């Protein structure tokens, strides 16, 4: 379930509301191009600014549209344990295969607090959990020792590691590799993470190039290192461009330039600065994703 190129899918909007028809089209685009699993309501899906009802609706749409063709890993984390439990309970009822649980942000819990948070969710809602460590967003770094403790719980099955620290990721494999699957949380580190024992990536760039992202991981799994390396370096400038500004602004802008969604995001995120937009267009043009 937790391998390959897993897309952290964007949430398209139309006049401030979820554009349900376009969202279903994006899901089909992913499945047709080899994506291994779909993550709605992650950071890239603007989970932090979706209302509770919108959040639940996006998960419902995803589960129904995917229709068991690939796993759905619903983003249901939060900085409130009770809220995360509520969202996770809904995801389970909706038919999600697993949940993505971000480390609680803003309140900066201790390592013991992190452990108790994820343990409480697992106890209340027995559904496979993918932990999500992204200290650049949350201001808290979940240490390998804490991950190893959590990996002893049967519900904790994988971790999306977006610390950018390969040494830390290697330590997770060393401490808990038999109990947990390591997934890259950064597109520009996917190949290095695979090389130390990772099984795939929860990807931003797969929103716009799902086939290349999927084929890169598959090439690695099949032992075709030259193909995997070639695709990695082909994708690398595009991966970097996805973070010219705060995610998901560049990736949603890219999809809009490709004609797949409207160029609409929720405040407090705003449209790209013109200078960064020009840089993004050049990268998209060089990749063949839009005309000059």
Q: What is the CATH number of the domain that holds 219?
A: 3.20.20.70
Per-residue pLDDT, 235: 98
For 78-99, the pLDDT digits (tens) are: 999 999 999 999 999 999 999 9
Per-residue pLDDT, 68: 97
CB 30 within 8 A of CB 260: no
CB atoms within 10 A of CB 266: 15
Per-residue pLDDT, 206: 98
Q: Does residue 260 belong to any structural domain of this protein? A: no
Among 115, 160, 244, 281, the active-site one is: 160
Q: Does residue 93 belong to any structural domain of this protein? A: yes
The percent of residues above 70 in pLDDT, for the chain, comes to 99
- List the alpha helices (DSSP H) in the chain: 20-32, 52-66, 81-94, 111-124, 135-138, 144-151, 166-176, 190-195, 210-221, 225-241, 249-257, 274-287
Domain count, the chain: 1
Among 132, 244, 252, 281, the active-site one is: 132
Per-residue pLDDT, 169: 98
How is residue 153 written in tokens?
Answer: 């719980």
* pLDDT tops 90 at residue 282: yes
Q: Does residue 287 belong to any structural domain of this protein? A: no
Q: Does residue 105 belong to any structural domain of this protein? A: yes
Domain region containing 106: 4-225
Alpha-carbon distance values, 137 to 44, 141, 199, 247 (Å): 12, 10, 23, 11
Q: Does residue 271 belong to any structural domain of this protein? A: no
* pLDDT tops 90 at residue 281: yes
* pLDDT tops 80 at residue 111: yes
Phi-psi sector, 259: left (phi>0), alpha (psi -120 to 50), beta: left
* pLDDT tops 80 at residue 292: no
- If we measure between CA atoms, which residue out of 284, 197, 205 comes closest to residue 251? 205
Q: Does residue 50 belong to any structural domain of this protein? A: yes
What does R_g of the chain's alpha carbons equal in angstroms? 18
Residues 20-38, mean pLDDT to the nearest whole number: 98
For 125-157, the pLDDT digits (tens) are: 999 999 999 999 999 999 999 999 999 999 999
Per-residue pLDDT, 218: 98
pTM: 0.96
| Alpha-carbon gap, residue 70 to 34, rounded angstroms | 10
Residues 51-76, mean pLDDT to the nearest whole number: 97
Residues 71-83, mean pLDDT to the nearest whole number: 97
Residues 150-170, mean pLDDT to the nearest whole number: 98
Q: Does residue 235 belong to any structural domain of this protein? A: no
Mean pLDDT of the chain: 97
Q: Does residue 247 belong to any structural domain of this protein? A: no
Active site residue 105: no
Per-residue pLDDT, 290: 87
HSE-up of residue 103 (Cα within 13 Å, Cβ side): 30
Partnered with residue 183 across adjacent β-strands are 160, 200
Q: What angle do CA 285, 257, 229 make, to 5 degrees?
A: 45
Phi-psi sector, 13: left (phi>0), alpha (psi -120 to 50), beta: beta
For 181-231, the pLDDT digits (tens) are: 999 999 999 999 999 999 999 999 999 999 999 999 999 999 999 999 999
Per-residue pLDDT, 86: 97
Per-residue pLDDT, 291: 79
């Amino acid at each position: 379930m937790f391998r390959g190129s897993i897309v952290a899918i964007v949430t398209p909007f139309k006049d401030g509301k979820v554009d349900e028809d376009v969202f279903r089209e994006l899901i089909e685009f992913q499945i047709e191009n080899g994506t291994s699993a779909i993550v709605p309501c992650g950071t890239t899906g603007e989970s932090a600014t979706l209302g509770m009802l919108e959040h639940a609706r996006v998960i419902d749409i995803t589960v129904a549209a995917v229709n068991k063709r690939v796993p759905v890993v619903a983003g249901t984390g939060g900085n409130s344990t009770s809220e995360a439990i509520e969202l996770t309970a809904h995801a389970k009822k909706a038919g999600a295969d697993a949940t993505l649980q971000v480390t609680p942000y803003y309140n900066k819990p201790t390592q013991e607090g992190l452990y108790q948070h994820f343990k409480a969710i697992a106890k209340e809602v027995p559904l496979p959990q993918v932990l999500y460590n992204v200290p650049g967003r949350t201001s808290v770094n979940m240490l390998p020792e804490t991950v190893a403790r959590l990996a002893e719980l049967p519900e904790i099955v994988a971790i999306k590691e977006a610390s950018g620290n390969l040494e830390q990721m290697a330590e997770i494999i060393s401490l808990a590799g038999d109990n947990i699957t390591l997934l890259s949380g950064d597109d520009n580190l996917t190949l290095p993470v695979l090389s130390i024992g990772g099984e795939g990536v929860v990807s931003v760039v797969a929103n716009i190039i799902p086939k290349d992202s999927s084929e890169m991981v598959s090439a690695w799994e099949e032992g075709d290192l030259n193909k995997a390396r070639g695709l990695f370096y082909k994708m690398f400038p595009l991966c970097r461009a996805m973070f010219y500004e705060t995610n998901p602004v560049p990736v949603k802008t890219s999809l809009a330039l490709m004609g797949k969604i409207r160029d609409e995001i929720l405040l407090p995120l705003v449209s790209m600065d013109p200078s960064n937009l020009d840089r993004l267009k050049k990268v998209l043009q060089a990749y063949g994703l839009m005309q000059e």
